[in-house]
């Protein structure tokens, strides 16, 4: 096959991401907002704190009353968090105060309890304080109407706490992209089912569903379709009925006699974008559109399927989820752990282990076995070593580029 017939990985990714804006938004309670993407800026609905608040357990007083030490003051009350003080602090007076409580009128500082002694209502201050000491001023965190987080933020635990503190019980997030996943092939059976002499257990759909969830999408399992047009057409219609934003097919993307997926999709009306990429593993990849539903047809070999998912499906779902950095280069520098030969016309993604070098850059050592059917090698890898087309031979210690594989959540 002529290299001119194949798209580069960069061009293929750009085409996949073209026109991949979010498909709408929804409001969810904060308890369901983790890892969701803000559809609009988060704007504070209240001011925090709404009153001058004590930052310490101690005594609210006038700083000027501690000009001469030790100073004697009269304690006229006590304030806990959630409770105010109706009176006014005058010269020579103090109020026992606890962290988070409103600072009473007339007081302009808080003396830490460690810097004083209390006997009944008599306070002896042993250290001076400056005006404003240990007082959180009104709005020091944020004020009503202030923009706190930009649209496109993927919400973490602290972001959710910020939304709660600023007055939001629910929040507008990008709707999760719905991804229908269809495995294809007479050779496949589901885990737990009886496996025929000429069959294997389907595994790719589980990896793809996990990547969908990890990337903010909602997987829809369409099961396994046999190698005939009727079964494939039925599955495609099921994806459309489920209102999937993306249909991912697994296997049948090549040009063999039994590779029927592209033909079945075309019969259903798919507008083909491309289907061959200058990469290894994963050259045959279908990209197209069927009405509003985007199509990604991934290869059937496990390594090919996962590499294509990482390079194309994951950034697509991030873009559909509102991530402004979905198209960023996923690679980073590293050094080679062993020599590698010159590369051919396709961009190569070698499964590799990572270790640390003395200068801080990670060391990528590719596995000897790189067959695209091998899952165990992938599970033992921490990165993909990226070899550009026609890259010359490189020695151990040479600079290279890698794409780290995400660790399991938690």
Cβ atoms of residues 344 and 274 within 8 Å = no
* Rounded distance between C-alpha atoms, residue 298 and residue 307, angstroms: 9
* pLDDT of 62: 98
* Rounded distance between C-alpha atoms, residue 182 and residue 382, angstroms: 27
Does residue 78 sit in helix, strand or coil? strand
Number of H helices, E strands in the chain: 8, 26
Q: Which pLDDT tens digit goes with each residue over 181-217?
A: 999 999 999 999 999 999 999 999 999 999 999 998 9
What φ, ψ does residue 60 adopt, rounded to 5°?
Answer: -85, 130
* Rounded distance between C-alpha atoms, residue 204 and residue 350, angstroms: 19
> Nearest to residue 147, comparing CAs of 136, 160, 163, 170?
163
CA distances from 212 to 183, 225, 251, 289, 407 (A): 15, 20, 18, 19, 15
* pLDDT of 259: 61
Count CB neighbours of 113 within 10 A: 15
Give me the CATH topology for the region 25-48+141-174.
Molybdopterin biosynthesis moea protein, domain 2 (3.90.105)
* CATH class entry, domain 332-404: mainly beta
* Rounded distance between C-alpha atoms, residue 226 and residue 232, angstroms: 7
Going along 208-330, which residue ranges are E strands? Answer: 218-225, 246-250, 271-276, 279-280, 284-290, 293-298
* pLDDT of 253: 65
| Residue 191, C-beta contacts closer than 8 angstroms, at least 6 positions apart | 201, 202, 203
Query: Is the bond into 385 cis (omega within 30 degrees of 0)?
Result: no
Give ∠ CA 163-166-170 in degrees, rounded to 5: 45
* pLDDT of 5: 73
Q: Which pLDDT tens digit goes with each residue over 63-114?
A: 999 999 999 999 999 999 999 999 999 999 999 999 999 999 999 999 999 9
pLDDT, mean over the chain: 93
Whether 25-48+141-174 and 3-24+175-320 are alike in CATH topology: the answer is no
Give ∠ CA 216-208-350 in degrees, rounded to 5: 110
What distance lies between CA 84 and its chain's CA centroid? Answer: 42
What distance lies between CA 4 and its chain's CA centroid? Answer: 36
* Rounded distance between C-alpha atoms, residue 367 and residue 352, angstroms: 6
Mean pLDDT for each consecutive 10-residue tract of the chain (410 residues)? 72 93 94 94 98 97 96 96 94 97 97 95 96 97 98 94 98 96 93 92 95 94 91 93 96 65 89 92 92 94 95 96 90 96 96 87 96 94 97 96 78
Give me the CATH topology for the region 3-24+175-320.
Molybdenum Cofactor Biosythetic Enzyme; Chain A (3.40.980)
* pLDDT of 3: 46
Percent of the chain with pLDDT over 70: 96
* pLDDT of 107: 98
Segments making up each domain of the chain, as ranges = 3-24+175-320, 25-48+141-174, 53-136, 332-404
* pLDDT of 257: 54
Task: Say yes or no: domain 53-136 is CATH 2.60.40.10.
Answer: no
What φ, ψ does residue 223 adopt, rounded to 5°?
Answer: 80, -150
Does residue 79 sit in helix, strand or coil? strand
* Rounded distance between C-alpha atoms, residue 60 and residue 102, angstroms: 10
* pLDDT of 2: 46
Q: Please tell me the pTM assigned to this model.
A: 0.83
Cβ atoms of residues 36 and 86 within 8 Å = no
> Nearest to residue 92, comparing CAs of 78, 113, 106?
106
Q: Characterize the bridge pairing of strands 383-387 and 399-404.
A: antiparallel
* pLDDT of 410: 41
> Nearest to residue 343, comparing CAs of 279, 268, 267, 253?
279
């Amino acid at each position: 096959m002529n290299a001119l017939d194949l798209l580069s990985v960069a061009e293929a990714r750009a085409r996949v991401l073209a026109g991949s804006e979010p498909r709408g938004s929804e409001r969810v309670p904060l308890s369901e907002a983790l890892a969701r993407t803000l559809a609009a800026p988060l704007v504070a609905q209240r001011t925090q704190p709404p009153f001058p608040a004590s930052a310490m357990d101690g005594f609210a007083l006038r700083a000027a009353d501690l000009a001469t030490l030790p100073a004697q003051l009269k304690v006229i009350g006590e304030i806990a968090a959630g409770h105010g003080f109706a009176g006014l602090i005058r010269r020579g007076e103090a109020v026992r105060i606890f962290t988070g409580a409103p600072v009473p009128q007339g007081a302009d500082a808080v003396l830490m309890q460690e810097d004083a002694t209390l006997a009944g209502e008599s306070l002896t201050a042993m250290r001076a304080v400056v005006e404003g000491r240990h007082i959180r001023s009104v709005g020091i965190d944020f004020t009503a109407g202030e923009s706190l987080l930009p649209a496109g933020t993927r919400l973490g635990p602290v972001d959710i706490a910020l939304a709660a503190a600023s007055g939001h019980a629910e929040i507008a997030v990008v709707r999760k992209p719905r991804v229908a996943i269809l495995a294809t092939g007479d050779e496949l059976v589901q885990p737990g089912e009886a496996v025929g002499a000429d069959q294997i257990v389907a595994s790719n759909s589980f990896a793809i569903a996990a990547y969908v969830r990890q990337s903010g999408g909602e997987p829809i399992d369409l099961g396994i379709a046999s190698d005939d047009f009727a079964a494939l057409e039925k599955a495609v219609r099921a994806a459309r009925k489920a209102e999937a934003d993306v249909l991912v097919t697994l296997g049948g993307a090549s040009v063999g006699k039994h590779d029927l997926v592209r033909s079945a999709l075309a019969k259903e009306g798919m507008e083909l974008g491309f289907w061959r990429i200058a990469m290894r593993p994963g050259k045959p990849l279908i990209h197209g559109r069927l009405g509003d539903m985007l199509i990604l047809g991934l290869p059937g070999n496990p390594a090919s399927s996962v590499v294509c998912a990482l390079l194309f499906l994951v950034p697509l779902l991030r873009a559909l989820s509102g991530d402004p950095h979905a198209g960023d280069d996923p690679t980073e520098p590293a050094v080679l752990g062993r020599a590698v030969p010159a590369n051919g016309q396709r961009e190569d993604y070698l499964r590799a282990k990572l270790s640390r070098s003395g200068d801080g850059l990670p060391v990528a050592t590719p596995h000897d076995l790189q067959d695209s059917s091998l899952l165990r090698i992938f599970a033992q890898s921490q990165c993909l070593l990226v070899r550009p087309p026609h890259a010359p031979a490189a020695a151990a210690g040479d600079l290279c580029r890698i794409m780290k594989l995400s660790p399991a959540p938690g």
